[in-house]
Amino acid sequence: MEQNYPIKRIIDDKGILVDESYEQTINEELVKDLYYNMLRIRTYDRKSINLQRQGRLGTYAPFEGQEAAQVGSALALEENDWVFPTYRDHGATLTFGKSMTRTFLYWNGRVEGCVPPEGRNIFPPAVPIATQLPHAAGAAWAEKLRGTKNASIAYFGDGATSEGDFHEGLNFASVFKVPVVFFNQNNGYAISVPMEKQMNSKTIAQKSVAYGMPGVRIDGNDCLAVYFETKKAFDRARNGDGPTLIEAVTWRKGAHTTADDPSKYRPAEQGQHIVDPMERMELFMKNYGYWDEQWIEEMKEKTMNEVEEAVEEMENYPAPNVEDVFDHVYAVMPKQLAEQKESYLAHLERR
């Protein structure tokens, strides 16, 4: 089955264009947009890890190594589309327009971190595995019923494909031919469990067969391939042809979270042969005349300044409202919870 789903590439590990059909489609604006956004989210990611180690941020899920998959797919979205991320897809949501300050607040346990900017349909990150896939299918169905051209994208890891919600989401989307893209980032591990120990399928893309939808396998470290293949899937969705399952084969460089030690389950040499997605784009830019040293330095300074300003805003944010713990759990607060809230507020007044 693996040979039926070859990994699609546009540029190889050395930054050489291997699919010449895209030669006239690729331009400087697109290349620089992809590179800038990868640089931006990597700067954010590394800063977040440092903040967590300093005790200034809560437990954090890093994504270094997956920048191409997140940026390439997010830039293929249109303004009114829907994004259903996991806890590791803040790179995609930042690319789609989520506030960096609010993203930092999310990792400090603040309810404000789940609020998207006005005019952006971004659901809060799904921590339970695969629960966001039926939601993405439902939102897409609503857009279809309304007669719009809006679509949704659901991000998830390889471990999610072993959950019931994965199958329910894909089955529903297939039956009703809704405009949704199921975007899997296969980084080889479901926390500490390697892919071969949690499924017998050689690929994730082949799981599309059971639901009568196209399955595409792409090099998730090739940002151009991610962008164009995701765009094709969205075009198909907007044209009324239903959902697509994309498997982006990538690599999570670091730990599952900052509370994890990958050396316990991953050999040190594993993944060393994988060319970093940003390095690959840099090689491509140098090979084809898109590299501009001055522009690169300006973008590094710009992203660093943005990150530092967002950190300052996050740390100077008004103190959290303790009532948020009670008010955002149920549509109608149960009596027992209401009593707990009343008791706690009375305790605060006595202090």
Q: What does the pLDDT look like over 146-204, one tens digit per residue? A: 999 999 999 999 999 999 999 999 999 999 999 999 999 999 999 999 999 999 999 99
| Dihedral (CA of 92, 151, 163, 103) sign | positive
Residue 1, pLDDT score? 67
Angle (CA) 60 196 223, round 5°: 55
| Dihedral (CA of 268, 273, 278, 279) sign | positive
Q: Catalytic residue positions?
A: 252, 256, 265
> What pTM did the predictor assign?
0.95
Helix (H) or strand (E) holding 324: helix 324-327
Task: Decide if pLDDT at 142 tops 80.
Answer: yes
The whole-angstrom separation of Cα 317 and Cα 295 is: 33
Sorting pLDDT into bands at 50, 70 and 90, what band is 295?
very high
Token digits for 230? 């995701």
Task: Decide if pLDDT at 351 tops 90.
Answer: no
Percent of the chain whose pLDDT exceeds 90: 93
The CATH class that applies to domain 2-320 reads alpha beta
**Mean pLDDT, to the nearest integer, of 320-349?**
90
Percent of the chain whose pLDDT exceeds 70: 100
Residue 240, pLDDT score? 97
**Mean pLDDT, to the nearest integer, of 282-289?**
98
Query: What confidence tens digit (pLDDT) does each residue in 229-275 have?
Result: 999 999 999 999 999 999 999 999 999 999 999 999 999 889 888 99
**Mean pLDDT, to the nearest integer, of 69-84?**
98
Residue 324, pLDDT score? 85
Task: Decide if pLDDT at 104 tops 80.
Answer: yes
**DSSP secondary structure of 163-211:** SHHHHHHHHHHHHHT-SEEEEEEE-SEETTEEHHHH-S-S-SGGGGGGG
Residue 350, pLDDT score? 86
Q: 7: how many CB neighbours lie within 10 A of its CB? A: 17
Q: Domain residues of the chain, as ranges?
A: 2-320, 321-351
List all residues 6 or more positions away from 222 whose beta carbon is below 8 Å from its beta carbon.
9, 10, 11, 68, 277, 280
By the 8 A CB rule, do 124 and 98 touch?
A: no
Residue 87, pLDDT score? 97
Residue 297, pLDDT score? 98
Residue 179, pLDDT score? 98
**DSSP secondary structure of 231-262:** HHHHHHHHTT---EEEEEE----S-SSTT--G
Between 347 and 96, whose confidence is greater? 96
| Least confident span in 12-21, 28-37, 299-308, 328-337 | 328-337
The whole-angstrom separation of Cα 15 and Cα 242 is: 33
| Dihedral (CA of 230, 234, 84, 115) sign | positive
Residue 322, pLDDT score? 85
Mean of all residue pLDDT scores within the chain: 96
